[in-house]
Structure 1
Amino acid sequence: MKKYSIITALLLFIAMSFTTESMAQKFSNLDVSPMDAASYPSDYKISLKEVKVVYSRPQLKGRSLSELAPNGKVWRTGANEASEITFYKDMFLGETPIKAGTYTLYTIPGEKAWTIIINKDINVWGSYFYNEKNDVARIKVPVTVKKDSLEAFSIAFEGSKGGVDMHLGWDNVRVIVPFKDRFAK
């Protein structure tokens, strides 16, 4: 009887070992285009944000910008899921009002200007399902070319007179997107 108890206990221990191992969480490796966020104000001591963008940061890794974000084609403004921008108050992009809320941020790169698109679709992978009918606002902004190069696509915000400027940069290309407070004069 004692022999059966030891064997039973041993078999139970082995079974539980395999069960525990098979139920262990599998964690994925670090994404090659890690997710990031930029907001205004960027000071974390200030809890009242005006705008925040969540995006993934692709890297050049020896490739050209035109290969990764081709001119004339709708781009998800980053990698992986399309970038999402949240306005915590009503704002303007150019002359177009944008209600507070979360939107997808698309761009159409160009040699001299980029088209910035705010679209009401959210939770979208890439730009494969982009639907122009759901655009909320569009504006063309000029491109500037700098001597220094950014390896990873980057977004930053800066306060401006009457609003917030969103800076997009990758390789030696820089774009400034002006958002205006709806109460700005």
Structure 2
Amino acid sequence: MSPKLRKGLKISLFGILPLAILIFFVATGYHYVPVDVTIGSCLKDYTSPSTYTERSSPLKSYEIQSEDQTILICYGSPSVKGRKIFGDLVPYNRLWRFGANEPTRIYTSSDLVIGEVVVPKGRYSMYAIPGEESWEIFISESTFHWGNWISESVRDQEIGSFEVVPETNSNFVESFTISSEEDTLIIEWESTLLRIPIIYIDEG
């Protein structure tokens, strides 16, 4: 290979490499960036065709801050629209993505206990098996699967699960909503309410 051709090849590679890296992170969201960097706005999964159309279930986020600790939860927010939700649109005793579109994702800058599961600093997905009397909530290290495509490989990455007893909400909630009260995650949709305790693990 001539020196001139070798030089041209190096220039091409240096030009293509940054572009390839940029395309990779645009396509995958920020799932491979350090979690301290990812705390911020939620990104859509640009590998899904539905991302390029108007969404009936918008991507929402909820952030919890406690001193220098941050939790960011990203989730699709479907609406009731006159339908019966739990036990019908969302069947009992079957895995459900806990929202819509992308998996519901949790980004945490510190170690936590969510429900009864120890969750080290990092990024995770959360999904559930709803039941009439009890829900099982799962935490997985898989964040790059599409919502309800909860495959065996996704299940293999679970770090734990816990059970929550659903409550009847005194207020009807049209859109799936995640919020918090003190150290408790609040999940509301239709007439169902879940309370999930969160404990911060002291790193000191």
Distance 2:171 2:60 in 1: 22
Distance 2:53 2:70 in 1: 33
Residues paired across the two proteins, number: 150
Greater percentage in strand: 1
Distance 1:95 1:69 in 2: 24
Distance 2:106 2:89 in 1: 21
**Gaps (5+ residues) in structure 2?**
1-50
Greater gyration radius: 1
Contact 1:103 1:121 in 2 (8 A): yes
User: Is structure 2 residue 146 aligned with structure 1 residue 122?
Assistant: no
**Aligned match of 2:94:** 73
Among 136, 156, 162, the alignment partner of 2:179 is: 156
Contact 2:111 2:121 in 1 (8 A): yes
1:23-102 equivalent positions in 2, closer than 5 A: 30-41=54-65, 48-66=68-86, 67-102=88-123
**Aligned match of 2:156:** 133
TM-superposition CA deviations, 1:34-60 (whole Å, max 9, x none): 00001113xxxx884431110010011
Contact 2:116 2:161 in 1 (8 A): no
Distance 1:151 1:111 in 2: 20
Contact 1:93 1:138 in 2 (8 A): no
How much has 1:134 moved relative to structure 2? 1.2
Contact 1:40 1:158 in 2 (8 A): no
Distance 1:29 1:82 in 2: 18
**Gaps (5+ residues) in structure 1?**
1-26
How much has 1:132 moved relative to structure 2? 2.2
TM-score, scaled to structure 1: 0.74
- Give the 4+ runs in structure 1 shifted more than 6 A: none
What is the percent sequence identity of the aligned residues? Answer: 25
Aligned CA-pair RMSD = 2.2
TM-score, scaled to structure 2: 0.67
